[in-house]
Structure 1
Amino acid sequence: MPSLSRLTRNLVALVLLLATLPALAQDPEDGLLPVTQAFQLTADASQPGTVGLHWRIAPDYYLYRGRIVIKPTDPAALTLGTPALPDGLKKHDEYLGDVEIYHGDIQATVPYTLADASMKTVALDVQYQGCHEVEPKICYPPHTEHLKLVVGAPSTIPAAPTAAPATTTAATAPGAGAALLGKPATLPGTDAQALPADQAFRFEALVKGGDALLLRWTMPKDYYLYRDKTAIKVVSPAGVTAGEPDWPSGTAHHDEHFGDTIVYFDQVELPVPLAGAAKDGKLQLDVSYQGCLENGICYPVMTRRLDVDLATGAVVVAAPASATTGTPATTPADVAPTPPPKGLVPAGADAPVGILAAIGLALLGGLVLNLMPCVLPVLSLKAITVLESGESPTAARKHALWYTAGVLVAFAALGVVIVGIRAAGHGIQWGAQFQQPVAIGLLVYVMLAVGLSMSGVFEIGGSLGNLGSGLASRSGPSGDFFTGVLAVVVASPCTAPFMGSAIAFAFAASVPVAFLIFLALGLGLALPFLLIGFVPAIARLLPRPGRWMETLKQALAFPMYLTAVWLLWVLTKQRGADATALVLVGAVLLAMALWWYGRSRRPGLSWVFTALLGAGALAALWMVHGLPAATRTATATDGSVPYSPARLAELRAAGTPVLVDMTADWCITCKANEKAVLDTDAFKDLLKRTGTVYMKGDWTDVNPTIAAFLEQYHSVGVPLYVVYPKGGGDGRKLSTVLTYDTVAGALDTASHP
């Protein structure tokens, strides 16, 4: 068997490669200073009629001259003159234009006049803003310090910092290509995280009727968009203009900076007429908009460039190119305020691991995946082929190698896709494909088709040798290969122990390193069958083949049907009963198509009828795509409260211990933990005894707020469990697989800091 020998040598070479890679040095952490340490302000009023201000600016930081604003705390008691500031270094800022900045130490003076000459104190507010000019390049939000100085005091008095203002507006927004928030990347005075701009204000554009556009913004809960801060400008060609937008009615809102305005929550659709004609139907527009998080921060103005083809209806949305470099420009709001900048690793996050450790953890994680309930239905397929190999060592090795090849190819493809999407700036976690109803429906079809094949309803012949669902049930190399692929597909909603740190490392690593880590996961998943195929002593422990195997094969079809039922339950949670009905109709059409193909003696005619029924099944699946998300209003019976950043911040501020559980209906590991620990009476008694609030976040469907929380704790997906101690302090991550003793120990510690 020359081909088998080559495949064996290649597999051995891969194993040796994974085992002998050199350790990868860790990147040094780039710590960022708190704003009051980066820009240390001291002040004194030792000279009557003048306040002296002194900033000591840390290395690699700079302060904007034009962002220094000095005001009296009580204008009736104190009048300030024009501050005397030294000249700064002239610099062209991409967003603020020509500015002056300061490095090192600077001294400023401010003349003042007291309304009552007998007053002995001077109270004023000093606001300033600066940036970190090397990686990670971020700008701090404007920071205000309240000074109360003794008139004539001979010594310099350190400024007394106060909390940063609760709202950052466009008038005081960071610039210089900076992150929206500095250190820490949280809302002032809370532990809540602000979403990245493109998640907080999801922007889309559609061609409407060939002479108009429909602009759409979708915002998570508590985020809103300003009507008056939106501008639409046609960049090219000349002669085409945007007409008056047809704004829908919004919500009246009083803004302390902008006065009475109109804002929009949830979603707003804006028709925009176009006047004039483009010769080729193509034009470019810039759309600028601004919004805020209620009782939190406001984002700087965001601008998106639209490349529109009116003839085809195609619209490409991107950041406008920089005038100087021609590269896509990043506005301050485009740089995500969460996760925190590099070097600001949240408490409780996994400690960094080296490449060898990550590969070892991936290998162990893949091995443990074999014990997870999500993989067991597909492993039953593999068990059949292993048993069929009987007494032939050559056949057993073939089965093992082709199955391993399918697993490795599927894991590599999945890993490269996920890491590639994340590298492009889009957040995605392990198992996120199960948030897509069409993917759920397609898996229902696959499980049904595999089950029907095992039940003997139809057999896949050579002419259908490339159909994925049927290949999993075939004998021979193609069946083994696609059984491995299917095992990876159904394994993705499970997170086994050891996997988290390995996948987190892969997400942050280069594509080649990520590729190796995902291959190690696949090798771990395939390892039991490799051992059976290549270790005769283990293979001899298997029962001898016989007629009983056909009965076993048919019996193992029922786990496939149960898996399809579970997937339908998940789909019902996501899109409601209508989606389930559509997929059930499609499943019946698919079953009819396979039944007809299996019994037909005229291949040509059977293909036509099968194709028509299959097209009907796909049409039903496509209709699911357009259904709205199901309303989920069920009252929790496990004592939990819904997760929200604001509620978590409120509980932590009150000194209450909190257990945050990020879960999803499609997460088998989550459901196993709930059954074993979180839904038990003992756990409810534990919550009462420790005074812990149990907070649950549901990630069954797409949820940017929960995705941001997962990013904050460097979690590759769900489940994620974080315990916050009584009286404040950093959160502590728990294992993805829970035991009662683990949870009890964590909550007892958190309730007695």
Structure 2
Amino acid sequence: MRSFRFGGVAATLLVLMTLLSGVSAAFAQDTQNLLPVNEAYKLTADSSTPGVIKLHWAIAQDYYLYRGRMNFKGGDGVTLGTAQLPDGEKHDDPYLGPVETYHHSVDATIPYTLAPGTATIALTVRYQGCHETDPKICYPPQTAHLDLPAPAAGPSNKLNDLLSARPQSLDNNGTPLPAEQAFQFSAIAQDAQHLLLRWTMPKGYYLYRDQTTLSVKDAPQLSLTPSWPAGTLHQDAHFGNTTVYFNEVDVPVSVHGDASGLKTLTLVASFQGCQDAGLCYPLMTRQANIDVVHGGTATGEPAQSPAPEMPPADAKASGMGTSLWYALLLALGGGLILNLMPCVLPVLSIKAIGLLESGENPERRRTHALMYTAGVLVSFIVLGSIIIALKTAWGAHLQSPLVVAVLALLMLAVALSMSGVVQFGASLGNTGSSLANRSGAAGDFFTGVLAVVVASPCTAPFMGTALAYAFVAPMLDALLVFVALGLGLALPFLAVGFIPAVSRLLPRPGRWMETLKEVLAFPMYLTAAWLAWVLAHQRDADAVGLLLIAAVLLAMTLWWFERSRGRGVFSRLLVVLLAAITLAPLYYLTTLPATAQVAREDGGTVAYSPEKLAELRKAGTPVFVDMTADWCVTCKANEHAVLDGETFQALLKRTGTVYMKGDWTDVNPTISAFLQEYHSPGVPLYVVFPKNGGPGKQLPTVLTSSLVEEALTEASK
């Protein structure tokens, strides 16, 4: 309900402005015959099918709903997949532009997964509609909070009985067991869409979660989504901090795609495990022929076709045949290139001013360089540790609307300082606001921190391979890669601080520097505007409205901060009060539901879904998959240079290739799973699937027209 407070304020302001503009007569129409909103749009929900929520709106005559105003957000323990909505009727709205609408009725299907122990499916549904005949009015956005009963979490008693047989206790006197005895695998079907898998290991053996892959043989239209239970965190010499399972693990699996007419499924499971004594088994592949009609237990047998060879469990072989030294070299180069990327340039302008002001003083230059480098390295180590521990992707923090909003406000504050609106001095101490202070160790350090935070959208050409290596390497090697990235980013400033020949290339200080500082403020303003645009794609127009309110409050806080210099305690307390009020819109921002990510075809682009990809591959259609995000600058550069051009469109038609796009601007578990499948450290990720059904080919993160043409031509043969 809290999210409505902002909407109510906005509606009140709209009415007041309407009255002031002299058009209040427009609201004098008779509205007595309008239906209450819950009668105009009757919403019902069904959660009886495991893994799927079905929503239905019954829409009254002369009313309609906007497709683009539908948002869905899961509550605690509920992770939503991509909402499936039908195409609507297209028309040009006088206020919203081109939109799609629904009349009479509409159904939405939302896949979901539940955290262990979650008994209720909490779902927030947001929608908006209008009355299309006189009086033509639109209802404010409506929010429905649903608490739906979760289907029976476990399978039937028959299913538990069938899977209850455990292997006998195996006493091998320390001799490693054969793989078939050490890792016993069985499977059963609840129905054609839901399986249950079980691995059973004797004492002293464990199974890796992240080294397990599942597929259905001879059924490319089907894809599988396992719901792994919580395991045991394990510091592994080969894979770093990973999750393993001892004794026994049951894994529910959802089957996506058309499985109608199938009596049996041939499940192929590839997995790896180890013995506590230190022996690790090579990759094992088992096949289980599952009866989806009668639900009999299927025991996994070794696959008849040879499984892909497991590369040696060391850092060189894991993740693209890259050695540690080569990965460090690539990381150093990638960090160096980051200095030229548009994300980082606004922040570097702050340090450029500081270095110019240091003039001929070598000690000041070295202090600037060292403290900035310290901020960069500490940030890279902290961020790298979090990414490795949580198995998240590079840049994933920008999926958080709160992080995006805070960065936008921070850019605005720094820009206002560079424009001369406010000057941050020693009274701010060592707080984050010292970023704008051009002198002082704290300012240099926090500028380095800010540079790392905003660098993540700009994945440099050499950065992808190094980060991919870091995600599969041992913890120490992975952290060394992140340190090398930081050294590359800080290298220009280290060179200026410690190499006299380089420092002499700097221009002499002068009055022109004040003008330069004010000019360099404008890239900061543009960065704040760009972040607001990203926020609009994550949480719609309401989020931008809250960000603008916070920006005005921040400007007021900084204005009064400057006016309060030399005044009494009351003036200083007012600064603190205004700063606290500035945080209020950010709180309401966290309550907004995510913008709906609906699967649809738009301008020749097909939205990514595993089901659609499997369908296209089954039909023998080559597919170009593009995983992107609005905050990914490299993605946007590739789109501008290659993917949005007429040459690329002509290439798609000539080769018969479908262009499939996945939007990772906001959290999307389906796209995250695809990134993990290809060991991608983040976006962009480009994969070309050939028409002959072979494996997908991963392209470099920086595209050229010739590279894409070669890949699509080969895939279409």
Question: TM range, normalised to the smaller chain?
Answer: 0.5 to 0.7
Aligned to 2:563: 599
Query: Which residue of structure 1 lines up, in the alignment, with residue 483 of structure 2?
Result: 519
Q: Is the 8 A contact 1:192 1:648 kept in 2?
A: no
Question: Which of 583, 588, 596 is the aligned partner of 1:618?
Answer: 583
1:457–1:655: structure 2 CA closer, same or farther, 3 Å change rule? same
SS in 2 for 1:195: strand
* Residues 357 and 96 of structure 1, relative CA distance in 2, 3 Å threshold: farther
Secondary structure at the counterpart of residue 293 of structure 1: strand
* 341 and 545 in structure 1: CA distance in 2 versus 1, 3 angstrom threshold: farther
Q: Do the aligned residues in 2 keep the contact of 1:402 with 1:477 (CA within 8 Å)? A: yes
Aligned residue number for residue 9 of structure 2: none
The residue number in structure 1 matching 2:607 is 642
CA offsets per residue over residues 497-542 of structure 1, 9 Å max, x none?
Answer: 1212222222223332222111110000111111222222222222
Rg larger for: 1
**1:697 paired residue number:** 662
Asked if structure 2 preserves the Cα contact closer than 8 Å seen for 1:454 and 1:473, the reply is no
2:437 and 2:180 map into 1 onto residues whose CA distance is 58
> Which of 446, 455, 459 in structure 1 is aligned with 2:423?
459
Query: What SS does the aligned partner of 1:701 have?
Result: coil
2:164 maps to 1:96:
yes
Residue equivalent to 1:575:
539
Q: Does 1:654 pair with 2:619?
A: yes
Instruction: Sort the Cα spacing of 1:528 and 1:296 in 2 relative to 1 into closer, same or farther, 3 A.
Output: farther
Measure the CA separation in 2 of the matches of 1:563 and 1:597. 24
1:534 aligns with 2:501: no
Where does 1:265-276 land on structure 2 (aligned, <5 Å)?
A: none
Q: Which position in structure 1 is the counterpart of 2:227?
A: 197
Q: Is the CA contact (8 Å cut-off) linking 1:138 and 1:179 kept in structure 2?
A: no
1:139–1:182 Cα contact (<8 Å) kept: no
Select 1:355's aligned residue among 303, 318, 324. 324
The 3 A distance-change label for structure 1 pair 570 and 477 is same
> Does the 8 A contact of 1:141 with 1:181 survive in 2?
no
Query: Tell me, which stretches of 5 or more residues in structure 2 are unaligned?
Result: 1-160, 172-177, 231-249, 266-306
**How far 1:551 sits from its partner (Å)?**
0.8
- Structure 1 743/525 Cα, relative in aligned 2: closer, same or farther at 3 Å? same
Q: TM-score, normalised by structure 1?
A: 0.58
Flag the 1:138–1:467 CA change in 2: closer, same or farther, 3 A: farther
Q: Of the candidates 692, 696, 716, which is equivalent to residue 727 of structure 1?
A: 692
- Report the equivalent of 1:315: none
> Hey, what does 1:401 align to over in structure 2?
370
Out of 376, 401, 404, the position equivalent to 2:345 is 376
1:343 equivalent in structure 2: 310
By how many angstroms is 1:190 displaced? 2.2
TM-score (norm 2): 0.61
- Change over 3 Å in CA distance of 1:538–1:179 after alignment to 2: closer
**1:194 match: secondary structure:** strand
| Aligned residue type for 1:197 | S
What are the superposed Cα offsets for residues 121-162 of structure 1, whole Å, 9 maximum, x if unpaired? xxxxxxxxx97555xx5736469xxxxxxxxxxxxxxxxxxx
User: Once the two structures are superposed, what CA deviation does each residue of 1:578-612 show, in whole Å capped at 9, x if it has no partner?
Assistant: 11111111111111111111121316323311111
| Separation of aligned partners in 2, 1:525 and 1:192 | 44
User: Bigger CA drift: 671-680 or 395-404?
Assistant: 395-404
Alignment of 1:425-440 (within 5 A): 428-440=392-404
How many residues are treated as equivalent by the alignment? 476
Contact 2:622 2:657 in 1 (8 A): yes
CA deviation digits over 1:703-740, x for unaligned, max 9? Answer: 11100000000001000001112212111111111111
Answering whether residue 322 of structure 2 is matched by residue 293 of structure 1, we say: no
Q: Within 1, Cα distance between the matches of 2:599 and 2:672?
A: 22
**CA distance 1:197–1:357, change in 2 (3 Å):** same
What is the CA-CA distance between 1:568 and the residue it aligns to? 0.7
Is the 1:193–1:708 contact (alpha carbons within 8 Å) kept by the matching residues of 2? Answer: no
1:507 aligned residue (471, 475, 481): 471
- Alignment-derived partner of residue 441 in structure 1: 405
Residues 661, 721 of structure 1: 8 Å contact kept: yes
Deviations 1:620-679 (A, max 9, x none): 101111110123569765521000111111111222111100001111111111111111
Separation in 1 of the partners of 2:318 and 2:612? 21
Q: 1:603 to 1:357 in 2, by over 3 A?
A: farther
Question: 1:139 — aligned with what?
Answer: 185
Q: What is aligned with 1:668? A: 633
Matched, 1:684 2:649: yes
* Distance in 1 between residues matched to 2:209 and 2:511, nearest whole Å: 68
SS of residue in 1 equivalent to 2:594: coil
Deviations 1:287-322 (CA, angstroms, capped at 9, x unpaired): x996733448999xxxxxxxxxxxxxxxxxxxxxxx
User: Superposed, which structure 2 residues align to 1:482-497 within 5 Å?
Assistant: 482-497=446-461
Task: List structure 1 segments (4+ residues) > 4 angstroms apart after TM superposition.
Answer: 100-103, 130-134, 140-143, 165-168, 172-184, 288-291, 294-299, 632-638
Counterpart residue number, 2:49 = none
Distance 1:413 1:631 in 2: 32
After TM superposition, the structure 1 = structure 2 runs for residues 103-502 of structure 1, keeping only pairs within 5 Å, are: 132=180, 139=185, 141=187, 169-170=195-196, 175-176=200-201, 185-188=214-217, 189-190=219-220, 193-197=223-227, 292-295=254-257, 343=310, 350-422=319-391, 428-502=392-466
Question: CA 1:603/1:197 → structure 2, altered by over 3 Å: closer, same or farther?
Answer: farther
Quick check: 1:141–1:182 contact (8 Å CA) kept in 2?
no
User: 2:592 maps to which residue?
Assistant: 627
User: Partner amino acid for 1:747?
Assistant: L
AA partner of residue 214 (structure 2): A
Q: CA deviation at 1:178?
A: 6.4
Q: Secondary structure at the match of 1:185?
A: strand
Query: CA shift at 1:465, angstroms?
Result: 2.0
Quick one: distance in 1 between partners of 2:379 and 2:517? 25
> Any idea what the Cα deviations from partners look like across 1:162-194, whole Å, max 9, x if unmatched?
xxx965634x75555868999852244227653
Q: Which residue of 2 aligns with 1:224?
A: none
Worse-matched range after superposition: 669-678 or 474-483: 474-483
Give 1:565's aligned amino acid. Answer: A
